[in-house]
């Protein structure tokens, strides 16, 4: 993510304007040059190479982009709603983790005046949020009334009957907003993809392609995939693998975020076999790495996003091929934390050891910040324009988030870590995630409601269901607090204290970067080193 200087602002605005003008200019030139009179070479014509580009861009816009944009507006296929008791538990858990309820509703209703959020507006929002549907309340009206009564108690005032003019932000029901991408842009993506291939190959990674019959299902095409002898064991997911040769350390499964694929992570991946930034020379002491590629969020035209079950099944098959029956570290960045959430709730979970989440979007996902900042915020600063044009409005990204991103499936709570060692890396200037809220949540002891849920889950997983055993485990996962007096003392600490806690490699911990925006932790060796050292410690300690 770029900075917010004046020079960077004008640079990104010029880049966006230039890329966005390619299609209109090409279409206009093609119409003026060819349509009225047919092809007639004259002195004012561009060279044939340039004219070929204008024709290709025009045809791509008219024959590919416009039909594809229409096709991507199809309604989402929502998962079935959870049972009523689970819905009520989720509703309570969300309410327990909202610091500013009025601000919460104002952002979910796109900045509307709260007097315009009336009873029917709130029912419409709750139907989407907790019932995975739109339409009238129907048989769910009684339960919705319970939720609204609870909301009134929290607000300390009644909610007016009827419908106001406020419109709820319902990500998977609202229109899919996207912007055109030119063939020139996709050529740039293909070039960066080639650079990624060369760099990872140089650092000892092997590219695992899908079947050759799927070559034309991904654009830009990947011609180098025709020459690799390594084959992915699954239908959709491609990945990079570095063999695991260490007899004592844990391997790593890494899942990237929204962006141009694995290119921003190449230095990070190549340095994981060292805590100093220089790769280990011992061929028998290499930490194995699987770096999964998620193409629907990598600025490509490809297959639609996999469902939660499909994604977990394919990743499980990949892990089984390279880390059979072996515990591994699960590391992910940004959108990758959503897939991490699914894996932690899948049959693969027993194999997952420590978890490392970098700029995660799945923690406190009930808050409106991630969805609003990524999909609805009007850009003002340089980094916001970069996010808006290059990520939010990309066809694949927009469709993935607007039709395949179901928040109740993707959210993760502290209880879902089930006693694992967990590190979460956060940047204070993150333009997507409310990192201060996430950091406070992770650093605080579990509340009674979450503690009860953890006790229930722990009992079903073979751990002792007794209060004492589970509570000790929970407290150790939240900073080593184990007695009532220590818990009370921890609760009275300065709320900013957690930002400066020493990382110990135990429990749930936060690495706080006070000067970094989203994804900037990968940009410089000094910031990469902090997360690499923590990951290396997990590899060694397990």
pLDDT of residue 65: 95
Q: Which among 71, 96, 115 is the end of a domain?
A: 71
Q: How much is the average pLDDT of 199-203?
A: 95
Same domain, yes or no: 401 and 531: yes
Q: How far apart are CA 262 and CA 239, in angstroms?
A: 10
Same domain, yes or no: 67 and 203: no
Same domain, yes or no: 334 and 227: yes
Q: Which among 47, 71, 95 is the end of a domain?
A: 71
- Does 33 map to a domain? yes
Structure tokens at 261: 């694929």
Q: What is the pLDDT of residues 263-306, one digit of tens each?
A: 999 999 999 986 544 455 677 778 999 999 999 999 999 999 99
pLDDT of residue 35: 66
Q: Which helix (H) or strand (E) holds 50?
A: helix 48-60
Q: How far apart are CA 206 and CA 291, in angstroms?
A: 10
Same domain, yes or no: 117 and 148: yes
Same domain, yes or no: 223 and 364: yes
Domain coverage including residue 100: 84-155
- Does 167 map to a domain? no
- Does 178 map to a domain? no
pLDDT band for position 3 (cuts 50, 70, 90):
confident
SS3 6: helix
Q: How far apart are CA 425 and CA 432, in angstroms?
A: 14
Q: What is the pLDDT of residues 489-521, one digit of tens each?
A: 444 446 688 999 999 999 999 999 999 999 999
How many independent structural domains does the chain possess? 3
Same domain, yes or no: 291 and 430: yes
Check whether 163 has a pLDDT greater than 50.
yes
Q: What single DSSP character describes residue 216? A: G
Mean pLDDT (the chain) is 88
Q: How far apart are CA 2 and CA 66, in angstroms?
A: 31
Nearest partner of 522 among 511, 530, 534, judged by Cα: 530
Q: Whole-angstrom distance between the N-terminal and C-terminal Cα of the chain?
A: 32
pLDDT of residue 495: 65
Same domain, yes or no: 385 and 524: yes
Q: What is the pLDDT of residues 136-150, one digit of tens each?
A: 999 999 999 999 999
Structure tokens at 123: 């029912």
Check whether 454 has a pLDDT greater than 50.
no
- The residue ranges of DSSP E strands in 359-497, in sequence order, are 422-427
pLDDT of residue 80: 94
Q: What is the pLDDT of residues 215-246, one digit of tens each?
A: 999 999 999 999 999 999 999 999 999 999 99
Q: How does DSSP assign 484-512, residue by residue?
A: HHHHHHHHTS-TTGGGGPPP-SSSEEEEE
Check whether 539 has a pLDDT greater than 60.
yes
Q: Which residue has the tokens 């290709």?
A: 56
pTM for the model stands at 0.88
Same domain, yes or no: 231 and 97: no
- Does 88 map to a domain? yes
Neighbours of 34 (CB within 10 A): 15
pLDDT of residue 492: 44
Structure tokens at 375: 């999909």
Q: How much is the average pLDDT of 374-400?
A: 95
- Does 510 map to a domain? yes
Check whether 466 has a pLDDT greater than 60.
no
Same domain, yes or no: 290 and 380: yes
Same domain, yes or no: 271 and 201: yes
Counting Cα atoms < 13 Å in the Cβ hemisphere of 531 gives: 32
pLDDT band for position 369 (cuts 50, 70, 90):
very high
Same domain, yes or no: 51 and 90: no
Same domain, yes or no: 231 and 344: yes
């Amino acid at each position: 993510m770029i900075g917010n200087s004046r020079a960077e602002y004008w640079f990104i605005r010029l880049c966006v304007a230039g890329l966005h003008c390619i299609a209109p200019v090409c279409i206009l030139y093609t119409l003026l040059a060819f349509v009225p009179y047919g092809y007639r070479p004259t002195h004012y014509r561009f060279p044939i190479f340039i004219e070929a580009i204008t024709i290709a861009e025009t045809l791509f816009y008219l024959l590919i982009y416009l039909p594809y944009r229409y096709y991507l507006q199809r309604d989402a296929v929502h998962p079935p709603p959870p049972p009523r008791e689970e819905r009520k538990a989720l509703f309570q858990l969300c309410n327990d983790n909202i610091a500013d309820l009025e601000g919460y509703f104002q952002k979910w209703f796109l900045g509307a005046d709260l007097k315009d959020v009336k009873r029917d507006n709130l029912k419409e929002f709750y139907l989407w949020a907790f019932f995975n549907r739109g339409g009238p309340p129907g048989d769910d009206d009684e339960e919705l009334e319970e939720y609204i009564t609870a909301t009134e108690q929290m607000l300390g005032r009644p909610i007016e009957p009827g419908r106001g003019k406020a419109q709820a932000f319902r990500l998977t029901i609202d229109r899919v907003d996207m912007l055109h991408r030119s063939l020139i842009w996709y050529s740039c993506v293909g070039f960066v993809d080639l650079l990624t291939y060369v760099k990872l190959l140089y650092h000892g990674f092997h590219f695992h392609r899908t079947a050759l019959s799927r070559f034309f299902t991904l654009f830009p095409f990947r011609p180098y995939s025709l020459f690799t002898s390594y084959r992915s064991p699954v239908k959709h997911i491609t990945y990079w693998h570095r063999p695991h040769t260490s007899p004592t350390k844990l391997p790593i499964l890494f899942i990237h975020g929204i962006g141009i694929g694995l290119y921003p992570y190449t230095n990070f991946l190549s340095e994981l076999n060292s805590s100093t930034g220089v790769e280990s020379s011992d061929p028998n002491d290499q930490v194995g790495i699987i770096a999964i590629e998620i193409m629907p969020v990598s600025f490509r035209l490809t297959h639609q996003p996999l469902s939660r079950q499909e994604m977990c099944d394919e990743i499980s098959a990949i892990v089984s091929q390279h880390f059979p029956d072996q515990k591994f570290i699960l590391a992910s960045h940004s959108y990758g934390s959503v897939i991490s959430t699914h894996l932690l709730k899948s049959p693969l979970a027993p194999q997952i050891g420590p978890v490392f989440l970098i700029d995660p979007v799945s923690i406190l996902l009930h808050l409106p910040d991630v969805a609003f900042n990524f999909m609805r915020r009007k850009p003002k600063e340089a980094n916001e324009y970069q996010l808006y044009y290059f990520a939010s409005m990309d066809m694949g990204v927009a469709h993935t988030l607007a039709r395949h991103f179901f928040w109740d499936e993707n959210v993760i709570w502290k209880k879902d870590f089930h006693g694992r060692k967990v590190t979460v890396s956060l940047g204070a200037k993150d333009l997507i995630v409310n990192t201060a809220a996430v950091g406070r949540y992770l650093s605080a002891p579990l509340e009674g409601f979450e503690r009860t849920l953890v006790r229930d889950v722990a009992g079903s997983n073979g751990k002792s269901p007794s209060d004492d055993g589970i509570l000790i485990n929970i407290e150790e996962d939240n900073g080593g607090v184990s007695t009532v007096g220590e818990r009370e003392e921890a609760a009275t600490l300065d709320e900013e204290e957690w930002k400066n806690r020493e990382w110990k490699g135990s429990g749930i911990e936060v690495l706080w970067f006070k000067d970094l925006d989203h994804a900037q932790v990968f940009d410089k060796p000094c910031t990469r080193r902090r997360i690499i050292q923590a990951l290396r410690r997990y590899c060694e300690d397990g």
